[in-house]
């Protein structure tokens, strides 16, 4: 079957033993808008030069009110659109992290500052504000009001004493409540700021939006206290431990963490009250001890995961970017339980399939290592990192009606 046929959405025969996909996670018609990832005239990938509509390995993006913000990770910058784009490759209005749209480089090839970036990854709207995980500066940047121009400096820096610092754990071997090491994910639930402090194998929570540089966190998950950073808490995997937390979502009052290193999603039935609290449910594994990708099998299933890096809620549904399987999965809240199978899928033709772009050239509805997924008003924003693009893709009508 030719790539042209695949692009119009015809489904090839399911491979042997596959479980058919009954529901799409995202609209069967495909994305509404694509930013980045344009092909050259010969059909090969175009060189990714920085510009107002090009992206290099974007790992996070979100709609924030009427605006769109993208972490253009490989170009070490944020791109912002004053209005969510209505057409493919619409140029950005604003850039933060570089002197203009045509430059790139870590911290703009200069010193760390309140408007520079070094591998920005997670991003979240925080009411009227914005939070960004500036991973390799080992900090989170917080704007109390979303920028409406280029080069706007952050109001608050978490993980460092001030905006001029950028060492892991502030240059010390051990973490504390006010230090970070490779923070990759951020989430705002309306009352708490959550950060996936990936290099410290933990998730941190602040009550309210932080107001001062280096403000210490109020709660830690994944470790017994703020002073430890052991993989899986220094022991065997269990319902408390984490290996590589990467994203957080809140889902009908529940707190969910994509623990990519353990190939699972951890779910707490409410906001935990104590440090290191055990989760109540696990998705992606059959028990709290198993951690292998795709449950030790080569092919995935409706109940397995392979390095899930992205997570968001859409009403009664939880969507996960199952990154190394190049697909989006969705679970319904009624099915929640250890090892529950997903009901809905996008990016692959069945639950037992994997492969970057379904082993083909990129199509409008295929995925290659999606690192992030967020959602606002029924529109998912997918950071399709391996295809150097971000997709504005409506959640499937079957999930929201």
8 Å CB contact between 176 and 213: no
| pTM exceeding 0.75 | yes
- Which residues touch 95 (CB under 8 Å, ≥6 apart)? 52, 77, 78, 79, 80, 101, 150, 151
8 Å CB contact between 378 and 66: no
Residues paired with 266 in a beta bridge: 257, 282
One DSSP character per residue, 27-55 reads -TT--SEEEE-PBPTTSSBPP----TT--
Tens digit of each residue's pLDDT (9 = 90 or more) over 272-285? 999 999 999 999 99
**Which pLDDT belongs to residue 45?**
61
Q: How far apart are CA 70 and CA 81, in angstroms?
A: 9
**Which pLDDT belongs to residue 78?**
98
**Which pLDDT belongs to residue 5?**
28
**Which pLDDT belongs to residue 41?**
61
SS3 content of the chain, % helix, strand, coil (to 5): 10, 35, 55
What single-letter DSSP state applies at residue 334? Answer: G
Longest C-alpha distance within the chain, in Å?
57
> Can you list the residues of the chain whose pLDDT is less than 50?
1-16
Q: How far apart are CA 348 and CA 377, in angstroms?
A: 24
What is the token pair recorded at 44? 């090969």
**Which pLDDT belongs to residue 44?**
62
Q: How far is CA 398 from the centre of its chain?
A: 23
The H or E element that residue 133 is part of is: strand 129-134
**Which pLDDT belongs to residue 9?**
34
Residue 80's nearest CA partner among 134, 155, 146 is 146
Q: How far apart are CA 117 and CA 379, in angstroms?
A: 27
Where do the domains of the chain lie, and which CATH numbers do they carry? 3-8+25-400 (2.120.10.30)
- Token match 């004053």: residue? 82
Write down the mean pLDDT value for the chain: 93
| Residues across the chain | 401
Q: CA quadruple 382, 385, 387, 388: dihedral positive or negative?
A: positive
Question: Which phi and psi (to 5°) does residue 6 adopt?
Answer: -60, -40
Residue 325's nearest CA partner among 303, 207, 14, 242 is 303
Tens digit of each residue's pLDDT (9 = 90 or more) over 355-399? 999 999 999 999 999 999 999 999 999 999 999 999 999 999 999
HEC per residue, 282-309: EECCCCCCCCCHHHHCCCCCCCCCCCEE
Q: How far apart are CA 369 and CA 367, in angstroms?
A: 6
Number of neighbours of residue 276 by Cβ within 10 angstroms: 17
What is the token pair recorded at 76? 């070490």
Q: Residue 333 in 3-state DSSP?
A: helix
**Which pLDDT belongs to residue 12?**
39
Please list the alpha-helical segments (H only) found in 95-195. none
8 Å CB contact between 290 and 302: no
8 Å CB contact between 330 and 317: yes
Q: How far apart are CA 12 and CA 297, in angstroms?
A: 23
């Amino acid at each position: 079957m030719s790539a042209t046929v695949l692009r119009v959405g015809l489904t090839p025969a399911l491979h042997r033993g596959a479980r058919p996909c009954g529901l799409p996670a995202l609209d069967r018609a495909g994305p509404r808008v694509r930013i980045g990832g344009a092909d050259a005239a010969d059909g090969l990938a175009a060189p990714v030069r920085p510009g107002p509509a090009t992206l290099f390995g974007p790992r996070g993006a979100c709609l924030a009110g009427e605006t769109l913000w993208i972490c253009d990770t490989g170009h070490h910058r944020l791109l912002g659109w004053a209005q969510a784009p209505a057409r493919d490759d619409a140029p950005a209005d604003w850039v933060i992290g570089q002197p203009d749209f045509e430059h790139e480089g870590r911290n703009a090839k200069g010193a760390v500052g309140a408007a520079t970036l070094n591998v920005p990854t997670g991003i979240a709207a925080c009411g009227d504000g914005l939070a960004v995980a500036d991973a390799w500066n080992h900090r989170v940047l917080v704007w109390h009001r979303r920028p409406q121009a280029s080069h706007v400096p952050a109001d608050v820096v978490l993980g460092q004493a001030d905006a001029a610092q950028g060492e892991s754990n502030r240059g010390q071997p051990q973490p504390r409540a006010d230090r970070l090491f490779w923070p990759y994910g951020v989430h705002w639930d309306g009352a708490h700021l959550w950060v996936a402090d990936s290099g410290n194998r933990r998730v941190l929570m602040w009550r309210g939006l932080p107001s001062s540089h280096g403000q210490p966190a109020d709660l830690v998950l994944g470790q017994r206290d703020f002073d430890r950073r052991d993989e899986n808490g220094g022991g065997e995997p269990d319902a408390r431990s984490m290996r590589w937390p990467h994203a957080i979502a809140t889902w009908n009052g529940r707190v969910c963490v994509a623990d990519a290193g353990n190939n699972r999603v951890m779910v707490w039935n409410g906001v935990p009250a104590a440090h290191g609290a055990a989760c109540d449910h696990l998705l992606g594994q059959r028990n709290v001890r198993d951690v292998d990708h795709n449950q030790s099998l080569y092919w995935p299933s409706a109940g397995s995961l392979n390095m899930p890096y992205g997570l968001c809620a859409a009403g009664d549904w939880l969507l996960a970017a199952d990154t190394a399987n190049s697909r989006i999965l969705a679970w319904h809240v009624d099915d929640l339980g250890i090892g529950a199978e997903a009901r809905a899928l996008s990016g692959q033709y069945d639950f037992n399939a994997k492969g970057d772009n379904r082993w083909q050239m990129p199509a409008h509805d295929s995925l290659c290592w999606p690192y992030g997924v967020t959602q606002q008003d029924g529109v998912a924003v997918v950071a399709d990192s391996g295809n150097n693009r971000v997709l504005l893709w409506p959640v499937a009508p079957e999930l929201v009606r």
